Amino acid sequence: MIRRFRNRAEAGRLLARLLMPYAGRADVLILALPRGGVPVAFEVARMLGAPLDILVVRKLGLPDQEELAMGAIASGGVRVLNDEVVDALHVPDDIIDRVAASEQAELERRERVYRGDRPAPVLRDQTVMLVDDGLATGTTMRAAIAAVRAQRPAQLVVAIPVAAAESLAALRPLVDALICVTAPEPFYALGLWYEDFAPTTDAEVCALLARAAERAERLPAAPHARLA
C-alpha cells in the first residue's frame, strides 16, 4: 500500500521536491486554495523561495449531500458546474443559485479574514502555481484554473500531493504543467491519504500567511492589484 502523508506540511515538503526547477525564479507565485491547501503551499513556497498568496474557492455541494460537488465558485465571479452531477440528478437552477449565493457569502468572508486590506497579486505574465492538499473530483480546482486563466498568466501550474487518476487526466489539458506526488488506485477519499487530516482553521491560515508575508519581504518585490 502507498504510504500516507503524516500531515499537510510533510505533503508540501514532498511536493516541493518535485517543483525544484521553479526554485529561485522571480516570476513564480504560489496560490493556495484555503483552507487545506495553505499548509501544503506554505512549505512549497518556503522551499522554492517564492511568495505565497491565496485564491478562495468554494465547492457547491448538494443541499442534502454536501460532500457531492455539483460545482464550485472562485474569486473573480467564476462559477464552474459539474455537468455530470447536475444532469444525472436533475438539479434545478434555483437550487444551484441558492447554494452559490450562500457559498459566495462564505467566500467573501474568507477573503476579508485572510486578506484584510492587502491587495491581491497581479497574475498577468507570472508563472502561477495553484496548490491544494489533493484532488478528488477536481471541481474546485477547475474553478481556480478558470479564475487564474482570466488574468492571463504566462504559465499555469497545478501542484498537489495526491489525486484521483481520473481527475488528473481531466485537468491536465487545462494547464501548462500538472505535478502530483501520488495518484493511488483506488482513490476512495482524500482524507485516507493523510494520517492527520484535521481541518485547517482560519487562525492557522492567517498565521501561515503572515509568516509567508514576513519571508516575502526579503524576496524581489512583485506587483499587486485586485483579482478581477
Cβ burial 182-204 (10 Å sphere, 16+ → b, else e): bbeeebeebeebbeebeebeeeb
pTM for the model: 0.89
Query: What are phi and psi for residue 103, nearest 5 degrees?
Result: -70, -30
54: Cα within 13 Å, side-chain hemisphere: 31
What are the structural domains of the chain?
A: 8-56+119-216 (3.40.50.2020)
pLDDT for residue 227: 44
Mean pLDDT, consecutive 10-residue stretches, the chain (228 aa), reads: 86 98 96 97 97 94 85 90 89 94 94 89 96 94 94 97 96 97 93 96 96 81 44
Question: What's the first-to-final CA gap in the chain, in angstroms?
Answer: 43
Give the integer Cα–Cα distance in Å for 217 and 152. Answer: 25
